[in-house]
A and B are shown apart, each in its own frame.
Chain A
Amino acid sequence: MLAGVLFYGLYSAFANMSSNLAEQRIASGFGFLAHPAGFGIAQALIPWSEAMTYARAYLVGLLNTLLVSLVAIFFSTILGFFVGIIRLTPNWTLSQLAKWYVEIVRNLPLLFQILFWYLAVLATMPAPRSAISILDVAFISQRGIALPRLVYGDGAGIWLTALVLAVGCLFLYRRWSKAHQPRLKRGWFLPYAAVATVLGAWLIIDSPFSFAIPKQERFNLTGGLTILPEFAALLIALTVYSSAFIGEIVRAGIQAVPKGQVEAGRALGIGNSLLLRFIVIPQAMRIIIPLLTSQYLNIIKNSSLGVTIGYPELVSVGGTMLNQTGQAIEVVGMWMMTYLTISLATSLFMNWYNTRMALVER
């Protein structure tokens, strides 16, 4: 019956919406996605030009959202674990530092922090013509960080394939040897094998790689790889903000491990760092992972605040689409479905990881 009511509700809402739109002569449908977009996007991970379609523009925005979210998740996890563990050290100064870091960062609005990094920090860098030079290959200016760009020459593909194969083989070998010869002393062998493989391939193909160094031109530094200040500000703000929350999650997780476990470890004469690595953290992870999942979801959703500083993510690019075409309902629907899909995929992955960790524990 619930399904029936739901269906009727949905149907009448949709019918109502369609007739209202038709009455107001507002065009509807997704046909606009195939039209040329006609606007520029400052950062695109895939080739982009104004003559390409709105669908492609949306994809460019989606990739920008995923890029900043994934990198922020990576760094905030590392920083968060660091902060959480520091906070529990017996060293008074360090733990107080970590405490105040958490309290300050956690209690300031994220939007404020994004604007702080963008307007108060990155905007005060020098102009491109007087950029800070690092060994004349990398430059920092208010237009972003210009780095040398890797240029792939002939044979780069073969070389990369060889590298992937070599790493794959090493990985398989390691698993196999672990399973069959647990006591074999093989630690010294692996790195040498890896280096030999890579160098061998390099020598055979005669280095297919080169670097394009950024050059100072009339308006900007061009030719290299540029990290936009919008990206940098959003990334730093998301990382710092989330690391405070992750720090608290890690602290809670560690403190929830029964004291007896630590005492038992000490009784066996295990040192502090080993105790943390092999006894405390693995048990704390069971508590940490579900909470970490919500933090990751928050990072992904919060990345939409990038729109305020002009970072071309989903909401920014979608907003331009919405305004150029007027397809508000369609674009808002696309936003909802996209964020829902990314979030559900993230939580499915984290739940899978959680189950795996839990099984290993018991």
Chain B
Amino acid sequence: MFSRSIKIFMGGVIAAAAALTHGALAAGPTLQKIKERGELACGVSQGIGGFSMPDSSGKWTGLDVDFCRAIAAAVFNDASKVQFVALSAKDRFTALQSGSVDLLSRNTTWTMSRETTLGMSFAVVNFYDGQGLLANKSLGVASVKDLSGATVCLTSGTTHEMNLADYFRTYDLKYEAIVFVTADETIKAFESGRCDVYTADMSAVYAQKSKLKQPDDYAVLPELISKEPLGPAVRQGDAEWANIVKWTHFAMVNAEEFGVNHANIAEMRKSQNPEIRRLLGLEGNLGETLGLSNDWADRIVAQVGNYGEVFEANLGAQSPLAIKRGVNALWSKGGLQYAPPMR
């Protein structure tokens, strides 16, 4: 009886392994696969305000979501041809590796080990962030250095677990980490008082704070305890697809730099500025070299907007989060957003 159950178990293992490997073998160049499917499978977060959040009618909004739409606009000439796959921090890498999503546009930090051991490739940084902490004002805490002995709520599968451990070790502070699977569970536990502090990327800290019942009872601590360059990631080994993702972001940044936006694009098509003409595909064949049509960037700006517009609408002054551009401003305005020339 014992050996029979082992045989059955092994049979199951083989079936599972076969299922696991089949998908990877069938995967061809990503662009081809997306065109056949008729829509882009885009991995986004399950709900972080400003980055990706479904509203009451089920429509997704946010910076990461708009990036998915920009790619759909470039590939299909239809920004709505995106299937949003909501992924927990824990499941996101496996989802990308196994091919369930074509692209991870999910406030994911670019780290070395993720590129060297996870088979991922980060295309660009579309949001420069850092890890921040949120504490209840009643604790009277003014700095992270006051937190020795505190209990911290955070989400598993993120860089935050390690950053927190590193920081607290560096300054010889004690802490207790309570780790949850989703961002929602984490903030709920924090709000109920299970923890003294909540930690995540600073942008997410602001987003979650705005969702609390009494946001004014909580204060964001001044320190950033890490660098968190967030950006979209693809599987390694498909340079054509990586280029499309990379240059979609660069096209949006360049569009902002040249002053091309959603509202004035019709007028800009008449511009004599050679840089704008190349961007909009009126001169040269940059779009074709990507495997798309020449007006790909025109479609992105017309249907989604340039980087600055997308930022302002989702994170900036026009949004409830009111995050300042800061380091995410264009390089020409003292920020870090710098796109290579399109020529």
Residues of A within 8 A of B (CB): 2, 6, 9-10, 13-14, 16-17, 20-21, 23-27, 38-42, 50-51, 119, 123-124, 127, 142-143, 217-220, 222, 229-230, 307-310, 312, 316, 319-320, 322-326, 328, 340
Contacts and interface: CB of A to CB of B under 8 A. Distances in A.
Given A13-B18, A24-B235, A40 B177 contact: yes
28 contacts: A9-B14, A10-B14, A17-B17, A23-B24, A24-B24, A24-B97, A24-B236, A24-B237, A26-B117, A38-B162, A40-B165, A50-B165, A119-B188, A218-B139, A219-B139, A219-B147, A219-B149, A219-B151, A220-B176, A310-B178, A319-B156, A319-B157, A320-B156, A320-B157, A320-B161, A323-B157, A326-B118, A328-B97
Interface in B160-183: 161-162, 164-166, 169, 175-181
A9 B25 CA distance: 17
Interface in B175-221: 175-181, 185, 188-189, 192-194, 196
A293 B27 CA distance: 44
B75 to A, nearest CB: 23
B114 interface: yes
B318 to A, nearest CB: 34
Contacts of A320: 156-157, 161, 179
A144 B9 CA distance: 40
Given A2-B7, A9-B14, A38 B165 contact: yes
A102 to B, nearest CB: 30
B273 interface: no
A41 B175 CA distance: 10
Contact of A25 (B90, B119, B156, B161): B119
B56 interface: no
A20 B157 contact: no
A211 to B, nearest CB: 21
B93 interface: yes
Contact of A50 (B21, B97, B149, B169): B169
A142 B139 CA distance: 16
Contact of A143 (B116, B151, B161, B181): B151
A23 B236 CA distance: 9
Contacts of A220: 149-151, 176, 196
Contacts of A39: 161-162, 165, 177
Nearest to B92: A323
A236 B117 CA distance: 40
Of A124, A142, A218, the most chain B CB neighbours within 10 A belong to: A218
Contact of B236 (A25, A38, A222): A25
Of B11, B117, B147, the most chain A CB neighbours within 10 A belong to: B117
Given A24-B97, A39-B162, A323 B89 contact: yes
B131 to A, nearest CB: 14
B17 A14 contact: yes
Contacts of B114: 326
B117 A6 contact: no
B104 to A, nearest CB: 13
A2 B4 CA distance: 12
A312 B179 contact: yes
Contacts of A310: 153, 178-180, 185, 189
Identify whether the interface residues of A are mostly helix, strand, loop, or mixed: helix
Given A119-B188, A319-B156, A328-B94, A222 B149 contact: yes
Interface string B86-106: 000110011001000000000
Contacts of B166: 38
B13 interface: yes
A20 B117 contact: no
A38 B113 CA distance: 14
Of B10, B97, B114, B194, the most chain A CB neighbours within 10 A belong to: B194
A16 B21 contact: yes
Interface in B1-46: 7, 9-11, 13-14, 17-18, 20-21, 24-25
Nearest to B16: A13
B93 A323 contact: yes
Contacts of B175: 40
Contacts of A42: 176-179
B93 A326 contact: yes
Nearest to A24: B119
Given A40-B177, A308-B180, 16 more contacts: A6-B11, A9-B14, A16-B17, A16-B21, A20-B24, A21-B119, A23-B237, A39-B161, A42-B177, A142-B193, A219-B149, A219-B151, A310-B179, A319-B90, A322-B157, A340-B9
B192 to A, nearest CB: 4
Contacts of A319: 90, 156-157, 181
Contacts of A20: 21, 24-25
Contacts of A9: 14
A326 B236 contact: no
Interface in B133-162: 139, 147, 149-151, 153, 156-158, 161-162
B10 A6 contact: yes
A40 B157 CA distance: 13
A41 B147 CA distance: 17
A41 B237 CA distance: 36
A24 B13 CA distance: 22
